[in-house]
């Protein structure tokens, strides 16, 4: 029941540091708890690879932030 900000999860499908399943479990737990969250799988990306800084991903981040700023 704790108040938390919306959570955007980005996870590379080839991440060798954090198991992909961990992000799935986090996303599902947040949804079950009624929290605002979004989850994106970055195909072929490792942990924090350059794909995270690509224009399409930055657009996702910007859209997520803008959507939730309007709610405050």
| Per-residue pLDDT tens digits for 21-71 | 999 999 999 999 999 999 999 999 999 989 999 999 999 999 999 999 977
What is the distance between the alpha carbons of residues 52 and 39, in angstroms, rounded to a whole number? 13
| pLDDT of the residue at 72 | 58
Out of 1-5, 14-18, 24-28, least confident range: 1-5
Cβ partners under 8 Å of residue 32, min gap 6: none
- Which among 47, 49, 60, 53 is positioned nearest to 16, based on CA atoms? 47
What is the distance between the alpha carbons of residues 29 and 51, in angstroms, rounded to a whole number? 26
Tokens matching residue 27 = 């996303």
Estimate the share of the chain in helix, then strand, then coil, as percent rounded to the nearest 5. 45, 15, 40
pTM over 0.85: yes
């Amino acid at each position: 029941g704790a108040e938390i900000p919306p959570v955007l999860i980005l996870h590379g499908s080839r991440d060798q540091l954090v198991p992909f399943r961990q992000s799935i479990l986090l996303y599902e737990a947040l949804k079950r708890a009624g929290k605002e969250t979004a989850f994106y799988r970055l195909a072929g990306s490792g942990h924090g690879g350059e794909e995270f800084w690509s224009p399409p991903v930055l657009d996702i981040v910007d859209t997520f932030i803008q959507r939730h700023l309007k709610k405050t």
